[in-house]
C-alpha cells in the first residue's frame, strides 16, 4: 500500500538532499582544486617604487592587514638595503604569527647574513636569494660570466641553506635567459636546497602563450622542479602581469608573487586582487584557489592608498571606485532585476560594504570601539582615545558619519608617527585683491611657536609659515585634496609630499571638514615624519 506523504515534508527533504549533494560536490571540487600560494611583495617590490615608500609603523600596519587577508608569504623588505628596511623586516618577523616572512638578498654573503638576521625570529622564516641569468644582465649589470653565475648560485644557496630551511631562489630576468643555461642554474639551486624556485618575468616582456610554453619547457629541462614549489613574479610593462600569472597556473606553478593594487617597479607587479578574484570567479576554468579571504581585499587596497596617498584609478578592476558602479540606465535596470546581468562577482565578495550610516554625535566610546573592531582595526587604548576624540569632533561638524569616515580616522591613527609638532591654531587672510597671509601657531614640547608668512594663496601661505616655525627649507613636491564621502559636509582628505633640499620625499595626510585645516594637518604630519626618520637614525 502506498503511504501518503505531506508535500511540504517531501519538498523540505528534497531541499535537504539537494543541499547535501551541493555540499558534497563543492567539497569534492575543492579537493580537486590546486592550492595556489600568494607571495606578497607589496612591502618590497611595491615599496621600492617611486612615491610608495612607507615608514616602520606603516609597514607593520600593512603587514598585519596582509596577514589578516590570508597571504601565505610576506616579503617584508630587502634587509641589507637600509637600516630602516632591516628594522622593518625584523619587526614584521617578530610580529606576525600566521605567515611566512621573507627577506630578499642578492647572492652574496653580506646580503644573506643580513637577511637571516632580519627574519630568523619569524614563525616560518624564508631567505629569498636572486641572481640574474640572462646574457644581458650577466654582462651589463653583474659583469660575470655564466660559469661565475653558476658557481655563485651553488655557493650562496649552500650558505643560505645552512641558516634557513625555507629557501627561495630567483633567476632574475628568467624569461630572457638562455633556457639551457637557466635549467642548469635551477638544477644546481635545487640540489643545494632551494625549496621554491621563482622564474620572474622581470621586465614584463613575455606574453601568456609564450610564458606557458617557457614554463613547460623549463620543467622538462629541469625535472627536479617537480619536487619544489615553482613560482612566478610578473611585471606589468605590457599590462600582461596578471594574464601571465594565470598562464603560469596552467603550467603547474603553485606560488604567485603579487602586490596590492599592483604597485611595483615601473608599471608594477601582478595585482593581487585581480589574480585572486580571477581564480575565485573562474575556479572551474583554472581548477585552482588561493587562501585569500577575499572580503579583506577592499580594506587592504584602501589601507595601502591611505598610507601612500596614491589612489587607484577609478576604472581599476576589482578595487577601483567604478568597479561596481552601473551608470547606464539599461545596466542599472538589469542589475536591479538580477545582479548577475552585469556583475560577475558581488561587491560584498571583495569586502565592499554599503556605505552605512553607522554612528552620530550621540554615540559613545563603546559603540565607536565596537565599530572600529568590526571594521577590522585593533587600536590600543591611547590610539582609541585619540581616534574617538577625532570622531566626536567630526560628528559635531558633520551630520552623518559613515564607515569610510571612521576608517579614514582610524587607519590614520594606526600609522601615526610621534607628534613632534601639533597645530595650536591658524588665521588666514586671503582674497582676490590681496596677497594671502597666514598666521600659524604650532606646539612643540609644551611651547607655542607662532609665525606669519605670505604666499600665492591661503594654503601656500600656511605652508610657508609652518616651514618658518620648523626652521627647515621644505620643498612641496605634491599636494592633493579629496573628499572621503559625498556631500557639502564631507571630510576633506589632504595629502602633501615634501622634501628637504636633496633629501627623501615624505608624505603626510590630514583630515578635516575644513580643507585648509586638512592641508595644514597634512603638512604637519609630513614634517613629523621627517623628525621621526631623523630620530630613528635614517629609518624611513
Ligand atoms: O623582478 C624581479 O625579477 C625581482 C626579483 C628580485 C624577484 O623583483
Ligand atoms: Zn620584481
Question: Does one domain contain both 405 and 300?
Answer: no
What separation in Å is there between the alpha carbon of 45 and the centre of ligand 2?
6
Is 20 contained in some domain? no
Distance 276 CA to ligand 2 centre (A): 19
DSSP reduced 3-state for 506: strand
Q: Contact, 41 vs 71, CB < 8 A?
A: no
- Asked whether residue 295 falls in the same domain as residue 334, the answer is no
Q: Please give the grid coordinates belonging to residue 358.
A: 553607522
In a domain, 431, yes or no: yes
* 524 in the same domain as 385: no
Tell whether 23 is covered by a domain: no
pLDDT at position 329: 67
What residue ranges of the chain have pLDDT lower than 50?
1-5, 7-11, 538-540
Counting ligand 1 atoms within 8 A of each CB, the residue from 111, 156, 172, 232 with the most, and so the one to mutate, is 172
- Map grid coordinates 636572486 to a residue: 130
Element (H, E) at 223: none
Q: Do 170 and 302 fall within a single domain?
A: yes
> What number does the ligand 1 atom closest to the CA of 174 have?
3
3-state secondary structure of 344: coil
Give 48's contacts (C-beta < 8 A, 6+ positions apart).
78, 81, 265
pLDDT score for 356: 59
Query: Ligand 1: which of 40, 43, 45 to mutate, most ligand atoms within 8 Å of CB?
Result: 45
- The CATH number of residue 40's host domain is 3.20.20.70
CA of 200 to the centre of ligand 2 (A): 7
- With a 6 Å cutoff on the Cβ, whether 45 touches ligand 1 is yes
Any idea which ligand is nearest the CA of 231?
A: 1
Considering the domain architecture, whether residues 211 and 104 belong to the same structural domain is answered as yes
Residue 257 in contact with ligand 1 by CB distance below 6 A:
no
Closest C-alpha among 146, 275, 140, 115 to residue 208: 275
528 and 502 fall within a common domain: yes
> According to the model, what pLDDT value does residue 5 have?
44
Q: Which of 42, 189, 233 to mutate to test the pocket of ligand 1 (most atoms within 8 A of CB)?
A: 233
Instruction: Give the Å distance between the CA of 202 and the centre of ligand 1.
Output: 6
Q: Quick check: is 41 in a domain?
A: yes
Do 377 and 461 belong together in one domain? Answer: no
Cβ–ligand 1 distance for 172 under 6 Å, the answer yes
Query: What protein residues have CB closer than 5 angstroms to ion ligand 2?
Result: 45
Task: Give every strand in the sheet of 506-512, ordered side by side.
Answer: 474-483, 492-500, 506-512
pLDDT tens readout for residues 342-373: 789 999 999 987 655 567 788 888 888 888 88
Task: Tell me the ligand closest to 264's alpha carbon.
Answer: 2
297 with 42: CB under 8 angstroms?
no
Alpha carbon nearest to ligand 1 atom 6, residue:
130
Taking the centre of ligand 2 as the mean of its atom positions, its distance from the CA of residue 265, in whole angstroms, is 6
Residue 369's domain comprises: 357-414
Establish if 282 belongs to a structural domain: yes
Q: Do residue 409 and residue 490 come from a single domain?
A: no
Contact 393, 361 (CB under 8 A): no
Structure confidence at residue 501 (pLDDT): 83
Let me know whether 165 and 115 are in one domain: yes
Which protein residue has the closest C-alpha to ligand 1 atom 7? 170
Domain check: are 137 and 93 in the same one? yes
| Residue-level pLDDT at 486 | 66
pLDDT at 539: 46
Locate the ligand 1 atom nearest the alpha carbon of residue 200 and give its number: 3
Residue nearest to atom 8 of ligand 1 (CA): 45
3-state secondary structure (DSSP) of residue 431: strand
How many domains in the chain?
A: 4
Ligand 1, atom 1, residue with closest C-alpha? 202
Identify whether 331 is part of a domain: yes
User: By C-alpha distance, which of 271, 311, 310 is closest to 51?
Assistant: 310
Exposed, middle or buried, 506 (CB in 10 Å: 0-12/13-18/19+)?
buried
What pLDDT is attached to residue 59? 95
Q: H/E/C letters for each residue in 71-137?
A: CCEEEEECHHHCHHHHHHHHHHHHHCCCCEEEEEEECCHHHHHHHHHHHCCCCEEEEEEEEECCHHH
Q: Is 125 in the pocket of ligand 1 (CB under 6 A)?
A: no
168 Cβ partners below 8 Å, 6+ apart?
A: 102, 126, 127, 128, 129, 194, 195, 196, 197, 198, 231
pTM greater than 0.85: no
Amino acid at each position: 500500500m502506498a503511504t501518503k506523504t505531506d508535500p511540504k515534508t517531501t519538498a523540505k527533504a528534497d531541499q535537504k538532499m539537494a543541499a547535501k549533494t551541493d555540499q558534497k560536490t563543492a567539497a569534492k571540487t575543492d579537493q580537486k582544486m590546486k592550492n595556489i600560494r600568494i607571495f606578497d611583495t607589496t612591502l618590497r617590490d611595491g615599496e621600492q617604487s617611486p612615491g610608495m615608500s612607507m615608514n616602520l609603523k606603516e609597514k607593520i600596519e600593512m603587514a598585519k592587514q596582509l596577514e589578516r587577508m590570508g597571504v601565505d608569504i610576506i616579503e617584508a623588505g630587502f634587509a641589507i638595503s637600509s637600516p630602516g628596511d632591516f628594522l622593518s623586516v625584523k619587526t614584521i618577523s617578530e610580529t606576525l604569527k600566521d605567515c611566512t616572512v621573507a627577506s630578499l638578498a642578492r647572492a652574496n654573503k653580506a646580503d644573506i647574513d643580513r637577511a637571516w638576521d632580519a627574519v630568523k625570529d619569524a614563525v616560518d622564516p624564508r631567505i629569498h636569494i636572486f641572481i640574474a641569468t640572462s646574457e644581458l644582465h650577466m654582462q651589463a649589470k653583474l659583469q660575470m660570466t655564466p660559469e661565475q653565475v653558476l658557481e655563485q648560485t651553488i655557493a650562496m644557496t649552500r650558505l643560505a641553506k645552512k641558516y634557513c630551511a625555507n629557501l627561495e631562489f630567483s633567476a632574475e630576468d628568467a624569461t630572457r635567459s638562455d633556457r639551457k643555461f637557466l635549467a642548469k642554474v635551477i638544477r644546481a639551486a635545487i640540489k643545494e636546497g632551494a625549496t621554491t624556485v621563482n622564474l620572474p618575468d622581470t621586465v614584463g616582456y613575455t606574453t601568456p602563450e609564450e610564458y606557458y610554453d617557457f614554463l613547460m619547457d623549463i620543467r622538462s629541462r629541469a625535472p627536479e622542479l617537480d619536487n619544489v614549489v615553482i613560482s612566478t613574479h610578473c611585471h606589468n610593462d605590457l599590462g600582461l602581469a596578471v594574464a601571465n600569472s594565470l598562464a603560469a597556473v596552467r603550467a603547474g606553478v603553485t606560488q604567485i608573487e603579487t602586490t596590492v593594487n599592483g604597485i611595483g617597479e615601473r608599471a608594477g607587479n601582478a595585482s593581487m586582487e585581480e589574480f585572486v578574484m580571477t581564480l575565485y570567479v573562474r575556479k572551474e576554468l583554472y581548477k585552482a584557489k588561493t587562501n585569500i579571504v577575499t572580503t579583506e581585499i577592499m580594506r587592504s587596497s584602501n589601507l595601502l592608498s591611505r598610507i601612500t596617498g596614491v589612489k587607484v584609478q577609478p576604472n581599476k578592476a576589482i578595487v577601483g571606485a567604478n568597479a561596481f558602479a552601473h551608470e547606464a540606465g539599461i545596466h542599472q535596470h538589469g542589475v536591479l532585476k538580477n545582479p548577475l546581468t552585469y556583475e560577475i562577482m558581488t561587491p560584498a565578495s571583495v569586502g565592499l560594504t554599503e556605505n552605512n550610516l553607522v554612528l552620530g554625535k550621540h554615540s559613545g566610546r563603546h559603540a565607536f570601539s565596537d565599530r572600529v573592531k568590526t571594521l577590522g582595526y585593533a587600536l590600543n587604548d591611547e590610539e582609541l582615545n585619540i581616534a574617538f576624540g577625532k570622531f566626536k569632533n567630526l560628528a559635531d561638524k558633520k551630520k552623518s558619519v559613515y564607515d569610510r569616515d571612521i576608517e579614514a580616522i582610524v587607519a590614520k591613527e594606526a600609522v601615526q608617527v610621534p607628534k613632534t609638532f601639533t597645530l595650536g591654531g591658524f588665521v588666514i587672510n586671503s582674497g582676490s585683491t590681496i596677497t594671502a597671509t597666514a598666521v600659524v601657531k604650532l606646539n612643540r614640547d609644551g611651547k607655542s611657536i607662532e609665525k606669519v608668512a605670505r604666499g600665492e594663496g591661503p594654503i601656500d601661505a600656511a605652508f610657508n609659515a609652518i616651514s618658518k616655525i620648523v626652521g627647515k627649507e621644505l620643498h612641496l613636491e605634491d599636494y592633493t585634496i579629496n573628499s572621503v564621502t559625498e556631500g557639502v559636509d564631507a571630510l576633506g582628505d589632504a595629502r602633501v609630499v615634501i622634501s628637504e633640499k636633496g633629501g627623501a620625499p615624505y608624505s603626510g595626510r590630514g583630515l578635516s571638514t575644513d580643507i585648509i585645516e586638512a592641508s595644514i594637518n597634512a603638512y604637519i604630519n609630513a614634517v613629523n615624519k621627517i623628525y621621526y626618520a631623523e630620530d630613528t637614525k635614517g629609518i624611513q
